[in-house]
Structures are given as C-alpha cells and as structure tokens.
Amino acid sequence: MKSFLKYWNNFWFSKAELIPISIFRICFGLLLCLIFIAYLPNWERFYDANGIISLHDKNILHYQNLLSIFYLTEGKIPVILYWFIGFISAVAFTVGYKTRIFTIILYVVYSSMMNRNYFMVYGEDNITRMLLFYSCFAGLNHRFSVDLYLNKKLKSKVSEIWPIRLMQINIVLIYLFSTPYKLLYDPSWVHGEAIYWTVTSNNWSRFPYPDLFYKWDGILTKLFSYGALFIEFSFPVLVWFRKTKLIALALITALHIGIGILIPNVTFFTFCMVCSFWVFVPERFIEKFTRAKNK
Amino acid sequence: MNLDKNTKRFLISIFVLLNILTVIYINRPVPIKEVQNNKLKEILHPSSLDSMRSAAGLFFTNYGELVGLGTRWLMFVLQDKYNWFYLIKAKYADSSEVILPVPRQGDRSVLQRILFDFKDAKFQYNFNYRPYAREHYASYLCRKYPVHNGVKIRSIIFEFYKQNVLEPKEALKRNTYLDPTVRKEIAGVFNCHTENVK
C-alpha cells in the first residue's frame, strides 16, 4: 500500500515540466486564434437565434443543450460579442496574459458553441474542449508568458503535474478506444483497405493520385492502413517509456500530419492532435535540442 | 480555504479518478458492457441492477456532458464506400430553381474553400444521417433567401448525388476506382412556411 501511494503521488503530484506545457499553450492558443478567425463569417449562421438551429423553433428544446451561454443570454447580449470574447481570450491565452482567467472564459465560450449547435461538432471540438477543461487547472503560464514578465516569482513557483497527466491519459484513451473499434466495425481496416476508401472519397480526400492505392495489388493501401493501426495501437503503450517516448511521438505526429495532407476537412483536427502531443514531450529533449542548436 | 497537503491531494485524487472513470464508462466497449451486466446479474436483484445501472449511467453521462468529457471516441472508424454530394436548390413561386450560394457549391473563393467552409463537410455528413438536421437547414435557407428577382421562395430542394467506389480488386480489373453511374435522389423537399419567410 505504501509503495502504491508513493507511486501514485509521484505520478500525479510531482512537478510539471514547464517548458513543454508552455509551448503547448502557445501552439494550442495560435490554433484557437485560427479557429476563431475561421468561425467569424459563419458565427451568426451557426449560433444566432435565427441561425441554422433557430431558437424560434417550437421543437428547440429537443435539440438544444441548455448549457450554452448563447442560449441563456439570448436577447440580452448580441451573439457576435461572444466571438470577440472568444478571440480575445484565445490571444490572451497564447501570450499567457491572465492565463487562468482567459482559459476559463475560453472553455465556457467553446462549450457554449458546441452545446448551441451540435450539428457542427467535429472531433477537433471534443478534443479542444477536453484540453481547455484540463488547462483550466494547469500552470501553463510559468514560461514564455506575459504573466511571467509581470510577476517574476512565477518562475520559481511549482506547478503540479496532475492536470497535464489527465490530458495525457485522455489523449492515450482516444487511441485505446477508437483503434479496436476500427477492427470491430469496419472490415476494411482488417483487410488493409481503409486508406483506399479514404483517398478515393470525394468528401475527405485531396490526394491527387488515388489510383496508386489499388495498383500493385493494393500494396500502398495495406502499408498505410496497417501502418496507421500499428502506430495507433503502439502509441498508448510506448509513449510512457523514456526510451520509446520520442519515437512514439514522432510516429503519431507523422501519422496525423499524413492524415492532414490526405484529408483536407480534418486539418484543424490534425493541428489539434499535434498540439496536444507537446504535453508528452520531455523537457530534457527540448534542452538538448536547444543546446545542440546553439553549439 | 486552507487545506493541508494530504487533504488537497486526496480531493484532487478523487477528481482525477472521476474524470478518468467518466471517459472509460462512456467509451466502454459493448462486450465489456455485457460482461459487466452478466456479472452484476449474478449478484444483484434485477430491479436493483436496473436502478444501479441507470444511476451510474446518469451520473457519468451527466458529468461528462457538463464538463465536456462525454465523447465516444470513434476516430476514423467507418470509411465511406461511395462518393456523394448535395446540391441544394431553392424553388421560387414562378417555378424557377436556383442553386443557392452556400458552402460546398456555387462560386466559393479560395479562402472560403480552405478556411471558412471548414465545418460544412462534416455538417453535410451529419445531415446525411439526420433528416431533422436537413429540416433545420432548409428552414434557415428559407429565411436567408426569401426572394429571388422579386419572386417569393416556395421550397428548398436537397438533391443527393451518389457514385459507388469500386472494391480495390474490381478497381484494378477496370483500371478505375469509380463506378461510372452517378445516381441522383431527392433527399428532401421542404416547403418554406410563410412565417419563416420575412
């Protein structure tokens, strides 16, 4: 029992590595800024009372999750104001100004967006909200931030690792759950044909030579499909060991960038996943990398 | 509130477990659900089993929904086996049909195609499987495009075009991956009620 408690405390309550999580904040913040910019011309279409899900619809309560600040303040605050609040919060989050407060605001706005119009909810939204939820508890501003510039004491302040661990475990669980489902629900993954169906899809693919994926007995589709499965299966295990962590991170990042190149409509999802991998990067690797660069 | 270190750690540990268990509960695979139910059936009375199951389900589902951890992770599990697209038209009182200038059809700038229309592929994917989402969208389009050349809108038409993708072996034989037949279906005609059109 004692050794379990020791391990538990060590795993959840040791000091967080501050540089990687600060880099995560900057990358994730920049992505959020871009997402808000992409939302701007669509904002009223998606979230206004007269938008796609009209608040004047008598069946609205069937479709509407009431946990949305847009719904709760309808008629009192113009919905476009929330775009400005979200965008300003994303900028503040990126530069690390009043980080905790703006993270909470971002989380509330983002959750409200998802609850107001769930027809528009993507995987990237679920991941963004999960990362924002845990970010509310994390000390993301201890490096490279305006908060640090304004308060030098922040540099020596300890930040516990548990919110980062929760992010890590949630990310790992995404692969742990979705990968077996691939084999259970779609035989094309078992037969190594999944990537063929992806690259030939007019809705998802932008790959200019889909023909390559049925030629030569479909060797490319098998290679990519089984390769993707191998990376997704191995990542949740390999990422926890010091020796294999960087390889696992490099492979999963390459996989997602590959997906982003092949499938244009999931670009933000790709960016979101790639940003989230910063929470796994060990500080010693960044220090080693910068030392080597300075030599 | 000043809590000593151990109490604080204890409370955080409960919070940590709550979050992890929520994600695991919501994502637990069907075979595990069955094993769990069978095991519980052996030791519990059916009525207490039901109430326990619904209490646990309600608790984790509501908490997951509240904080945003209620997602079932099915990343790229199912692949489309056919190509499809929608053509959304408005029919006006003079019987003219107009292709609406909405995302994914008509003239879209490069910026619109690569950035601003980023949600619409998924939206169409969603309304492909949820007819009531099409109804909402139609109602919105009635309000958005009420008049064309001075003529009032009558209905919104969703044309659905589908083209099968050949199995890889068949594609190799035919040296093309697309079945030449493109099928057109009317996925829905929604009348614009006058109260929607202002």
Dist. CA A82–CA A88, nearest whole Å: 10
A window 98-157, beta carbon within 8 A of B:
107, 111, 114, 119-120, 122-123, 126, 129-130, 132-133
Query: Beta strands B147-148 and B151-165: pairing type?
Result: antiparallel
ipTM score of the complex? 0.90
User: In chain A, which ranges are E strands?
Assistant: none
Q: How far is CA B134 from CA A41, A52, B107, B138, in A?
A: 21, 10, 22, 6
Q: Do B80 and A203 touch (CB under 8 A)?
A: yes
User: In B58-150, which ranges are E strands?
Assistant: 82-92, 97-99, 147-148
Dist. CA B67–CA B15, nearest whole Å: 12
Q: Do B79 and A54 touch (CB under 8 A)?
A: no
A265-277 CB burial, b ≥16 within 10 A, e <16: bbbbbbbbbbbbb
CB-neighbour burial class of residue B38 (10 A; exposed 0-12, middle 13-18, buried 19+): exposed
Q: What share of chain B is helix, strand, coil (3-state, %, to 5)?
A: 50, 25, 30
Q: Provide the pLDDT for residue A46.
A: 92
Q: Provide the pLDDT for residue B33.
A: 65
Q: Provide the pLDDT for residue B66.
A: 86
In DSSP terms, which residues pair with B92 in a beta bridge? B153
Dist. CA B151–CA B92, nearest whole Å: 6
Q: Does B27 touch chain A (CB under 8 A)?
A: yes
Which residues on chain B are in Cβ contact (under 8 Å) with A129?
68
**Within 10 Å of residue B8's Cβ, how many Cβ atoms?**
14
Dist. CA A149–CA A171, nearest whole Å: 31
Chain B nearest CA to A126, separation (Å): 7
CB A67 within 8 A of CB B66: yes
Chain B nearest CA to A211, separation (Å): 7
In DSSP terms, which residues pair with B182 in a beta bridge? B163
A229-240 CB burial, b ≥16 within 10 A, e <16: bebbbbbbebbe
Q: Does B11 touch chain A (CB under 8 A)?
A: no
Q: Provide the pLDDT for residue A36.
A: 97
- How many inter-chain contacts (A to B, CB under 8 Å) are there? 161
In DSSP terms, which residues pair with B157 in a beta bridge? B89, B189
CB A44 within 8 A of CB A78: no
CB A175 within 8 A of CB A235: yes
Q: Does B18 touch chain A (CB under 8 A)?
A: no
Give the closest of A13, A40, A177 to B9, CB-based: A13
Residues of chain B with pLDDT under 50: 196-198
- The tens-digit pLDDT sequence of chain A (295 residues) is 788 899 999 999 999 999 999 999 999 999 999 999 999 999 999 999 888 888 777 665 555 667 888 888 888 899 999 999 999 999 999 999 999 999 999 999 999 999 888 888 888 899 999 999 999 999 999 999 999 999 988 888 888 899 999 999 999 999 999 888 888 888 899 999 999 999 998 888 878 888 898 988 889 999 999 999 999 999 999 999 999 999 999 999 999 999 888 887 788 999 999 999 999 999 888 888 888 777 7
**3-state SS class at B87:** strand
C-alpha atoms less than 13 angstroms from C-alpha of A140 in its C-beta half-sphere: 34
Q: Provide the pLDDT for residue A286.
A: 86
Q: Provide the pLDDT for residue B127.
A: 82
Q: Provide the pLDDT for residue B72.
A: 86
Q: Does A174 touch chain B (CB under 8 A)?
A: yes
Give the closest of B27, B67, B127 to A119, CB-based: B127
Q: Which of B12, B11, B25 is nearest to A163 (CA)?
A: B12
Q: Provide the pLDDT for residue A206.
A: 78
Chain B nearest CA to A181, separation (Å): 6
Q: Does A267 touch chain B (CB under 8 A)?
A: yes
Residue B19's closest chain A neighbor by CA? Answer: A166
H or E, element range at A199: helix A194-199
Q: Does B17 touch chain A (CB under 8 A)?
A: no
Q: Provide the pLDDT for residue B54.
A: 75
> How does pLDDT run across A182-223, given as a tens digit for each residue?
888 888 999 999 999 999 988 888 788 888 989 888 899 999
Give the closest of A41, A203, A215 to B121, CB-based: A203
Q: Do A194 and B79 touch (CB under 8 A)?
A: yes
Q: Which of B171, B15, B147 is nearest to B93 (CA)?
A: B147
Q: Do A57 and B114 touch (CB under 8 A)?
A: no
Q: Do B126 and A45 touch (CB under 8 A)?
A: no
Mutation site for A-interface testing, chosen from B75, B156, B195 by largest number of A Cβ within 10 Å: B75
Percent of chain A with pLDDT over 70: 97
Q: Provide the pLDDT for residue B198.
A: 44
Chain B nearest CA to A242, separation (Å): 23
Which residues on chain A are in Cβ contact (under 8 Å) with B126?
119-120
